[in-house]
Amino acid sequence: MKFSGTAHRYGRDVDTDVIIPARYLNTSDPDELALHCMEDLDAGFVGKVSAGDILVAEENFGCGSSREHAPIAIKHAGVSVVIAKSFARIFYRNAINTGLPIMEAPDAVDGIGDGDEVTVDADTGTITNVTTGASWQAQPFPPFIRDIIEGGGLVEAARARLGANAG
């Protein structure tokens, strides 16, 4: 899996309340949630994000509530992958389960600025800052995680696997 896009860079402890504020949790429609992605941290985010862009943040990304609306909003806003120094545990699990690629890469985060062009090869774990030419090696996705993400989420991957077994 390869991703490329413009980096949108944020700080540490980006919580799920700013990723998708509770005032929008009266719906679970992915496209409606995406309209308010990151609204309370960066009201201009939805206006500037393009399909394939990359979210970059420091430690503890996704802390707070267990709302799966957070990774769903990010994914449906067009973000291809989130790179952070570390992730809060429930968000980490939810991102994989909903098919949003995430990578822990502290060195890469330090070397990527807001607006830089970045490419990610999730199969090899290589992250490249095209703007500066620097690149880093992160942990690639293990095959079962890649299957879940490529399948579109845990449930879809499980169904595909069960279907393959049955066939």
Partner 1 sequence: MPRPMTITEKILAAHAGLPEVEPGQLIECDLDLVLANDVTAPIAIREFAKIGVERVWDATKIALVPDHYTPNKDIKSAEQAKIMRDFARAQAITHYYEIGCMGVEHALLPEQGVVGAGDVIIGADSHTCTYGALGAFATGVGSTDAAVGMATGRAWFKVPASLKFNVTGTLGPWVSAKDIILHIIGMIGVDGALYQSMEFTGDTITGLDMDGRMTICNMAIEAGGKSGIIAVDDVTRTYMQGRTERPWTEYVSDEGAVYERVYEIDAATIPATVSFPHLPSNTRPVAEARDVKVDQVVIGSCTNGRLEDMRVAAKVIEGFRVHPDVRLIVIPATQQVYRDMMHEGLTDIFLDAGAAVSTPTCGPCLGGHMGILAAGERALATTNRNFVGRMGDPTSEVYLASPAVAAATAVLGHIGLPADLG
Which residues lie near partner 1 (CB under 8 A)?
13, 15, 17-18, 21-23, 25-28, 39-41, 59-60, 63-69, 71-72, 86, 88-90, 93-94, 97-98, 153-156, 158-159, 162
- Of 55 and 118, the one with the shorter C-beta distance to partner 1 is 55
Closer residue to partner 1, CB minimum distance, 15 or 121:
15
Q: Are 38 and 15 in contact (CB under 8 A)?
A: no
Residues 6 or more apart whose Cβ sits within 8 Å of residue 152: 99
Residue whose CB is less far from partner 1, 21 or 140: 21
The whole-angstrom separation of Cα 83 and Cα 66 is: 19
Least distance (Å) from partner 1 to the CB of residue 86? 7
Phi and psi at residue 122, to the nearest 5°:
-70, -20
Residue 10 C-beta: closest distance to partner 1, Å: 12
Question: Closest distance between partner 1 and the C-beta of residue 61, in Å?
Answer: 10
Q: Quick one: 68 or 116, whose CB is closer to partner 1?
A: 68
**Would you list the DSSP string of 27-89?**
---HHHHHTTTTTTT-TTHHHH--TT-EEEE-TTBTBS---THHHHHHHHTT--EEEES-B-H
Q: How far is the CB of 60 from partner 1 (least distance, A)?
A: 4
